[in-house]
């Protein structure tokens, strides 16, 4: 089974690996239901989806009849105005077949102009606060992709006391001094505020480039179990972090297997060797 830890100040003991439901964006209900069995076998108790993950919310909906109480359920919206965000939350609740979610997140909030809209008068933040007051969600978060994400999250936490953040995090990314410094600052703020910290892109090996895309992930992922072990164990060795799983259901069992066997993190030498051996490349410029 996979270890659990407190998800920030929410009071929920979430598994260190959170199911990233982007992996359900282009699968069938039968494939989704098989994935549910994998999650249950490993004791995963936290599901993270989004309104724009294809049909993921629709596929998760049937699970909720029997398993709603087993999962901390999170979804996201990339809408930036009050009206659009409110409408999308109600659509998400309908698709998920639930009356409320545990965590609602502002999705991909990294563009400065979009940030101003979302956080300003008539912006999505007003819908978020209202949804929490109405009991449609218990907690509120913010997510992002790209190199400016940690800095934008710091700005978001100054504007509002969000309960969680989500951003890219892997060994290769953390070799970027500017990115590493911003992450360190963000982690310090999150620790002081008891904000839950979710990470993505743990298995990133580089862009697809001219190669045929053989996985559902938008980046080329690590494939071998030994390499996945190193990547997963390196993230889990950072005690503050949760690891959101890979966006491909066929790689998911390898990630969960690695997490279930976690005892300690790999050495710097092991990680450097893996990067050189696999030829890991940056996915963000």
- The confidence score (pLDDT) of residue 158 equals 98
Query: 140: helix, coil or strand?
Result: strand
What is d(CA 208, CA 219) in angstroms, rounded to the nearest whole number? Answer: 6
**Cβ atoms 97, 61 nearer than 8 A:** yes
Strand segments (E) across the chain: 4-6, 13-15, 17-20, 46-48, 72-77, 101-106, 137-143, 164-168, 196-200, 204-206, 220-221, 241-244
Q: What is the pTM of this model?
A: 0.97
> Do the Cβ atoms of 166 and 105 come closer than 8 Å?
yes
pLDDT above 90 covers what percent of the chain?
Answer: 98
Coil, strand or helix at 80: coil
| Burial profile 55-93: b = 16 or more Cβ within 10 angstroms, e = fewer | bbbbbbbebbeebeebbbbbbbbbbbbbeebbebbeebb
Say if domain 4-278 classifies as CATH 3.20.20.100. Answer: yes
Domain regions of the chain by residue span: 4-278
Q: Dump pLDDT digits (tens) for 22-60.
A: 999 999 999 999 999 999 999 999 999 999 999 999 999
Checking if the pLDDT of 285 tops 90, the result is no
Q: Which residues contact 87 (CB under 8 A, 6 or more apart)?
A: 79
Q: Taking CA 200 as the corner, what is the angle to CA 25 and CA 235, rounded to the nearest 5 degrees?
A: 140
Q: Is the backbone of residue 113 left (phi > 0), alpha (psi -120 to 50) or beta? A: alpha
């Amino acid at each position: 089974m996979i270890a659990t830890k407190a998800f920030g100040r929410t009071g929920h003991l979430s598994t260190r690996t959170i199911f990233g439901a982007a992996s359900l964006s282009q699968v069938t209900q039968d494939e989704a239901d098989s994935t549910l069995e994998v999650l249950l076998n490993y004791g995963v108790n936290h599901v993270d989806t989004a309104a724009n993950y294809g049909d993921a919310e629709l596929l998760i909906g049937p699970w909720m009849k029997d398993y709603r109480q087993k999962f901390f359920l999170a979804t996201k919206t990339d809408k930036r105005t009050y009206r659009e965000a409110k409408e999308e939350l109600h659509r998400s609740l309908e698709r998920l077949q639930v009356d409320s979610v545990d965590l609602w997140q502002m999705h991909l909030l990294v563009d400065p102009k979009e940030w101003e809209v979302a956080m300003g008068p008539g912006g999505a933040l007003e819908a978020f606060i209202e949804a929490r007051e109405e009991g449609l969600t218990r907690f509120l978060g913010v997510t992002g992709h790209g190199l400016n994400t940690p800095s934008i999250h710091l700005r978001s936490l100054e504007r509002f006391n969000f309960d969680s953040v989500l951003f890219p995090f892997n060994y290769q990314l953390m070799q970027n001094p500017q990115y590493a410094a911003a992450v360190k600052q963000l982690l310090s703020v999150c620790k002081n505020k008891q904000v839950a910290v979710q990470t993505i892109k743990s298995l990133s090996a580089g862009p697809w480039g001219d190669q045929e895309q053989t996985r559902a992930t938008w980046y080329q992922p690590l494939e071998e179990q030994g390499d996945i072990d190193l990547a997963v164990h390196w993230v889990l060795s950072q005690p503050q972090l949760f690891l959101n799983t890979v966006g491909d259901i066929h790689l998911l069992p390898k990630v969960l297997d690695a997490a279930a066997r976690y005892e300690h993190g790999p050495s710097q030498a092991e990680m450097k060797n893996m990067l050189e051996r696999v030829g890991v490349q940056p996915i963000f410029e």
